Amino acid sequence: MEGDDMSEGRASAMPERAPVNSSGGPHGASRGGAFPRTLTGVPGPRIGRTCGSRILAIARKEFFHIVYDFRTLLIIFIMPVLQLVIFGYALNMEIQRVDMAVLDFSRSTESRRLVEEFSGSRFFRPFHYQGPISGLDDLFKSRTARAAIVIPRDLETRLKTGTSVPVQLLIDASDANAATLVNMYCTQVLLNYNEERGIKTLMPFDSRNAILFNPNLRSSYFFVPGIIAMILVMISCLLTSITITREKETGTMEQILVSPVLPHEIILGKVLPYVALAFADASLVVFVGLVLFRVPFSGSFLLLTALTTLYIITALSLGLTISTRVRTQQVAMMLAQVATILPTIMLSGLIFPIASMPTVLRYITYIIPARYYLLIVRGIFLKGSSLAHLLEPTLFLGLMALVLLITSVRRFSMNLER
């Protein structure tokens, strides 16, 4: 028939379609071929040609979002400096002033010399107390005095005859650490007083001490590098913890869903701007620590830069892991603060020695990133340690960064409901 002939002609003129197999693309191309499957299941462009450009596009978008957000800029640059200044001056274990009550029953030239010896020390502020000995308790309870010295009546007579003089020292030990320091300072003042009078204390051995790395025993040399570790992990984790949740709350996740990008490209694109900003933040904090607190730097800046970058990546990966598990920015920020501030202050060795902790807590400290960076930053700053000396904490940090980054990529879901 004529109609049948025409239909057969049209059918023969149509081109043949390429067979589509179960992998979702022509000739199975979506399974590792030229057209990979994207987030929405639509075949996308070649990864080898455009992977870098897609990561840079996401990084550029994230960078502009940070730059145009005034609150984020305040968190990045202003808050770390303020925290370093506040904590740097507040975390000070040195005893700056000890109010000492002097109960002088001798009222002699030698007793005045002894009191002047305490007055000449930069730690003590002696004042004369005229009441009874029982009234010293009220001075301690009202915090009027932190120490007291009771000088006997026969001080000058005993010194002239060369006999031992029982001078009583009373110290407020409600703060055990401070009381220990005050006791050491009092002992040193009494030794100086004896040396000035030509009295040598007999000791079983000749001790010649040498204090290394911090000869002036300044606590700022110990705490400022630790504060840098706390600030970096807190800021880096806090910023990246809201990246994915912000996309969910603002609705821009839908735009990413229909884009030809893969989960690891989104993660890398979002991390890169924060790596650069956190590194700039670290440089600023280190500069303030060196200039304002005059912390000595004995190591290599290049080594500090490399290991600080590794520490920043670890903190950013922790924030991304939190961001992929929660739905709102508020919850993400709360979890970031709980996961960084308290563990860093309490369990990293920043303030309290890890060796003094219970066994259970000592095991928990192994999962705290700041524990390893504290060894690194204090070693480089004060001791001039090399990579060979810091190999163990470096490997632990690298392992933690790798595990957290892989976890964040695997946990990342392109489903808005997750």
Residue 111's domain comprises 98-196
Residue 260 shares a structural domain with residue 386: yes
Per residue in 262-281, pLDDT tens?
777 888 888 888 888 888 88
CA 253 – CA 244 distance, rounded (Å): 8
Residue 190 shares a structural domain with residue 233: no
**Is 410:334 a contact under the CB 8 Å cutoff?**
no
Residue 259 shares a structural domain with residue 311: yes
Res 162: pLDDT: 75
Residue 246 lies in a domain: yes
Residue 101 contacts by C-beta under 8 Å, 6 or more apart in sequence? 126, 127, 128, 129, 136, 139, 144, 145, 147, 148, 149
Residue 115 shares a structural domain with residue 258: no
Which alpha helices (H) appear in 146-218, and where do they start and end? 155-161, 176-196
Residue 18 lies in a domain: no
Instruction: Report which of residues 339 and 203 the model is more confident about.
Output: 339
Residue 33 lies in a domain: no
CATH number, residue 103: 3.40.1710.10
**Is 368:318 a contact under the CB 8 Å cutoff?**
no
Average pLDDT over residues 173-182: 87
Instruction: Report which of residues 34 and 217 the model is more confident about.
Output: 217
Average pLDDT over residues 250-271: 76
The region, left, alpha or beta by phi > 0 then psi within -120 to 50, assigned to residue 198 is left
Residue 227 lies in a domain: yes
Res 46: pLDDT: 45
Residue 114 shares a structural domain with residue 69: no
Residue 358 lies in a domain: yes
Residue 320 shares a structural domain with residue 394: yes
Average pLDDT over residues 19-27: 41
Per residue in 343-375, pLDDT tens?
999 999 998 889 889 999 999 999 999 999 999
Q: For residue 232, which of 274, 260, 271, 170 has the smallest C-alpha distance?
A: 274
Residue 361 shares a structural domain with residue 318: yes
Q: Give 355-387 as a 3 state SS string.
A: HHCCHHHHHHHHHCHHHHHHHHHHHHHHHCCCC
Residue 347 shares a structural domain with residue 395: yes
Whether pLDDT at 22 is above 50: no
Residue 375 lies in a domain: yes
Res 128: pLDDT: 92
Residue 174 lies in a domain: yes
Instruction: Report which of residues 281 and 21 the model is more confident about.
Output: 281
Q: Which amino acid is at 165?
A: V
Residue 278 shares a structural domain with residue 407: yes
CA 225 – CA 285 distance, rounded (Å): 10
Instruction: Report which of residues 238 and 412 the model is more confident about.
Output: 238
Residue 400 shares a structural domain with residue 320: yes
pTM metric for this prediction: 0.75
Sign of CA dihedral 341, 346, 349, 354: negative
Burial class (CB in 10 A: 0-12, 13-18, 19+), 1: exposed
Residue 79 shares a structural domain with residue 126: no
Residue 225 shares a structural domain with residue 309: yes
CA 148 – CA 129 distance, rounded (Å): 9
Res 97: pLDDT: 87
Residue 382 lies in a domain: yes
How is residue 106 written in tokens?
């001798």
Count of domains observed in the chain: 2
Whether pLDDT at 317 is above 60: yes
